[in-house]
Amino acid sequence: MSSDISNEYFCDGLTEEIINALAKIKQLSVTSRTSSFYFKNKTVTAEEIREKLEVATFIEGSVRASKKKLRITVQMIDTVDDFHFWSETFDRNPENIFEIQDEISLFIAEKLREHIGHLEIEDKLVEPIDIPVAIYREYLKGRYFLMKLGYDNTYKAIDIFEGIIKKAPNFPNPYLDINQGYVYMGTMGLLPAFEAYKKAQPYLQKALELDPNSSRSQLNLAWIECWQNWNLKKAYEHANNALEIQPADDIYLTISNFLTVEGKLDAARNYLDKALELDPYAAINHHYKGFLYYLKEEYETAIPYLKKALELDPMLPFPPIYIGISLLMSGKPNEALTYFGSLKGISVKDLTKLGGETMCYAKLNETEKCNDGLKELETYLTTALVDKAFTFLILVNALLGNNEKVVDFVTQAYHNRLPLILLLNPSPILKPVKNHKGFKDIMLKAIPDNVNYKQKKKYKQALLDANEIKKYSKELDQIMIDYKLYLNPDLSLKDLASYLELPVNYVSQLLNLGFQKNFSEYVNSYRVKEFKERILLEENKGLTIMAVAYDSGFNSKTVFNTFFKKIEGITPNTYLKSNS
């Protein structure tokens, strides 16, 4: 609420820290930064926020700052009844910023616990950083520009972070942020991927020396292991480490990326849905949902998600590619050609317009125009746009049926270690080339655990050994806790199998040997536990037993009563009376 723009950086930084702090509490599902900030400075009702973010509770507040005084107001609002639970004002010294962030985060967590029930809360949610407040304020300015994205904003942020490193060389965050900035530009095609990753590497290395165990350090390592080192096993290890430290939408999105590379599209969508739940206004999450539908050849379904991504961030470079290709592959080449021809701005600079039109000419059998496009694309192979040039050259030649040419370009891209190789694996346009020995050899070198080429396991008497049963049992329990799958009354054995990426027969055996239960017994045991917790909550006192049972995932009175008595040894009514 202050006129000085520098206080906006401070306010955004404070908000982001509180979001990150609350996200550390395992039992809470906290909407991520992008979607929270979407409502900044907008007049919206509690009902709109409930519908758009699907949240039961939200926190809002304001910051008024001067050199000597900081006034922060915070209030908590129930989105169902538009009821203000509490409002608090903190008058503090700006020099104590880290203590303030921790104090407010803990205060909110405690108030949430009073309102929604027991939460495990650590003694500290925000660790202090050993740097002067003036430098921290400058750091928040850098974060402000980094999160605005785009080429100019990212370089502006990098310049600020470089200045901070000179003043505070042992502060790990700016190193991580510079690394993130370069990786973002390489991934988005704003810089050649190889050049961007090379620039990013020393900054990450230094950050790891200073703080190897932060969630962001582990996430950055996951990116490197996948896109630079092509080591998916290590990439998953680091991503899961990051998820354990702090569940966040960008970590779920990252794991979805890795699963996509392997061709495990159903599992990738499960992780992506979790990312969208936490950050429904992140353009990249909507883009990736559309991209997954494109890979599954559900082109009509893909387009609305891709358009939503552009609506949220018109500068995002990927959606135009796949909107145009989805039109092309769904039998609308002329419509696709019109779409690519209408592109302006970043899509022209990054070859989307040229590459897309050339693909359309290939499909429309306009040989001369297609050849002209191919020749022009080849001129970019020695420029900063080499990644996009190779991508379109491969796709156009695949549409033309020039399989040998496709393999030649794929081989060149492989030897140049271009990240695009990994996303060729699940591409529907490359289906006709997938059995070509040269293409198959490269895909297996890049992705050894490649579901497109690995032979399926033959069924045997014991489908899973003892170690696998132990491993997958733990994994399944964690999935049930994280995703609360049991709340879906239509949950099936097939659904569980998709989350574990195992055949249905394997999961059936896993439940029998690992839990000594069949599917219904396993899922309904979670539902009974959920019911026992919900029925005793003050807020549910006015509900009938069956209303709470339905909220807990049951869809039949008979099944509920039968399973409850089987598991608890008493009827639901008796349980309620004995615990009232």
Q: Are residues 203 and 247 in the same domain?
A: no
Domain boundary residue, one of 195, 212, 229? 212
- As given in the structure block, the two tokens for residue 1 are 């609420």
| Widest CA span in the chain | 83
Q: What pLDDT was estimated at residue 455?
A: 45
- Among 212, 238, 263, the domain-final residue is 212
* Per-residue confidence band for 2, with pLDDT thresholds at 50, 70 and 90: low
Question: Tokens standing for 328?
Answer: 């092309």
Is the domain of 570 the same as that of 440? no
Shared domain check, 51 and 40: yes
> What ranges make up the beta strands (E) of 226-374?
none
* Same domain as 547, residue 479: yes
Say whether both 280 and 340 belong to one domain.
Answer: yes
**Packing angle of the helix pair 386-400, 403-415 (nearest 10 deg):** 160
Q: Do 356 and 500 lie in a common domain?
A: no
Question: Residue 133's closest CA among 179, 106, 171, 159?
Answer: 171
Band (pLDDT 50/70/90 cuts) for residue 485 is confident
Smallest CA-to-CA distance from 279 within 319, 235, 312, 244 is with: 312
Are 330 and 342 within 8 A, CB to CB? Answer: no
The answer to whether residues 172 and 243 belong to one domain is: no
Greatest mean pLDDT range, 78-82, 363-367, 457-461: 363-367
H or E, element range at 162: helix 151-167
pLDDT in tens, 18-30: 888 888 777 778 8
Q: Can you name the residues that pair with 90 across neighbouring β-strands?
A: 72
The CATH number of whichever domain residue 376 belongs to comes to: 1.25.40.10
pLDDT digit string (tens) for 152-186? 889 999 999 999 999 999 988 899 899 889 888 87
Residue 166 lies in a domain: yes
Structural domain count, the chain:
4
Model-wide pTM > 0.75:
no
| 413, 423 contact by CB (below 8 A) | no
Same domain, 247 and 187: no
3-state SS assignment for residue 92: strand
- Asked whether residue 46 falls in the same domain as residue 106, the answer is yes
Reduced to 3 states, what is the DSSP secondary structure of residue 61? strand
Residue 121 lies in a domain: no
Of 193-207, 258-272, 414-428, 437-451, where does mean pLDDT reach its minimum?
437-451
For residues 162 and 221, state if they share a domain.
no
Categorize the per-residue pLDDT at 347 as very low, low, confident or very high, splitting at 50, 70 and 90: confident
* Inside any domain, residue 279: yes
* pLDDT exceeds cutoff 80 at 305: yes
pLDDT of 3 > 80? The answer is no
Cα 213-217-222 angle, rounded to 5 deg: 115
Amino acid symbol at 339: Y
What DSSP letter does each residue of 244-259 carry, written as one string? HH---HHHHHHHHHHH
- Answer yes or no: is pLDDT of 292 > 70: yes
pLDDT of amino acid 144: 82
Domain boundary among 212, 236, 259: 212
pLDDT value of residue 458: 41
Q: Assess whether pLDDT exceeds 90 at residue 221.
A: no
Cβ-count burial 535-572 (b if 16+ within 10 Å, e if not)? beeeeeeeeebeebbbbbbbeeeeebbebbeeeeeeeb
Residues 542-569 have pLDDT tens digits of: 788 988 888 888 888 888 988 898 888 8
- Domain assignment of residue 381, yes or no: yes
* pLDDT tens, position by position, 30-50: 888 888 888 888 888 888 888
Instruction: Tell me, yes or no, whether 125 lies in a domain.
Output: no
Overall average pLDDT of the 423-439 stretch: 88
Q: Which residue has the higher pLDDT, 539 or 334?
A: 334
pLDDT at 539 over 80: no
Q: Is 473 left (phi over 0), alpha (psi -120 to 50) or beta?
A: alpha
In tens, the pLDDT along 314-340 reads 888 889 999 999 999 999 999 999 999
Q: CA 1 to CA 87: how far, in whole Å?
A: 17
CA 135 to chain centre: 30
Q: What percentage of residues in the chain have a pLDDT greater than 90?
A: 25
The answer to whether residues 317 and 188 touch, using CB atoms and an 8 Å cutoff, is yes
More confident residue, 380 or 98: 380
Model confidence over 354-404: pLDDT tens digits?
A: 999 999 999 999 999 999 999 999 999 988 788 889 999 999 999 999 999
Please state, in angstroms and rounded to a whole number, the distance separating the CA atoms of residues 580 and 573. Answer: 11
Q: Looking at residue 528, what is its pLDDT?
A: 93
Does the pLDDT at position 127 exceed 80?
Answer: no
The DSSP annotation for 397-420 comes to HHHHT-HHHHHHHHHHHHHTT-TH
Q: Would you state the pLDDT for residue 452?
A: 59
**Calpha distance 86→108 (Å, rounded):** 10
Q: How many CB atoms lie within 10 A of CB 267?
A: 19
Domain residues for the domain of 159 are 147-212
> What single-letter amino acid sits at 270?
N
Sign for the CA dihedral angle at 115, 121, 124, 125 comes to negative
Instruction: Evaluate if residue 9 carries a pLDDT over 60.
Output: yes
Tokens 């500068």, residue? 315
Report yes or no on 561 lying in a domain.
yes
Which residues, 6+ apart, have CB-to-CB distance to 151 below 8 Å?
185, 190
Instruction: Check residue 8 and give its pLDDT.
Output: 77
Tell whether the model's pLDDT for residue 457 goes beyond 60. no
Cα 266 from Cα 263, distance rounded (Å): 9
What is the pairing mode between strands 70-78 and 83-92? antiparallel
DSSP string computed for 180-245: HHHHHHHHTTSS-HHHHHHHHHHHHHHHHHH-TTSHHHHHHHHHIIIIIT--HHHHHHHHHHHHHH
The overall average pLDDT reported for the chain is 85
Provide the pLDDT for residue 316: 82
CATH of the domain at 517: 1.10.10.60
Whose tokens are 């600079």? That residue is 349
Mean pLDDT of 299-311: 95
Query: 14 with 92, same domain?
Result: yes
Distance CA 540, CA 533 (A): 10
- Residue that the structure tokens 């839990």 belong to: 515
Q: Is the pLDDT of residue 466 over 50?
A: yes
Assess whether 329 and 433 both reside in one domain: yes
Residue 459 has pLDDT above 60, yes or no: no
Query: Is 273 among the domain residues?
Result: yes
If you average pLDDT over each of 6-20, 38-52, 276-290, 497-511, which comes out highest? 276-290
Instruction: Find the mean pLDDT for residues 220-247.
Output: 85
Structure-token pair, residue 78: 């129930």
Cα distance between residue 470 and residue 458, in whole Å: 21
Q: Has residue 461 been placed in a domain?
A: no
> What pLDDT is attached to residue 453?
59
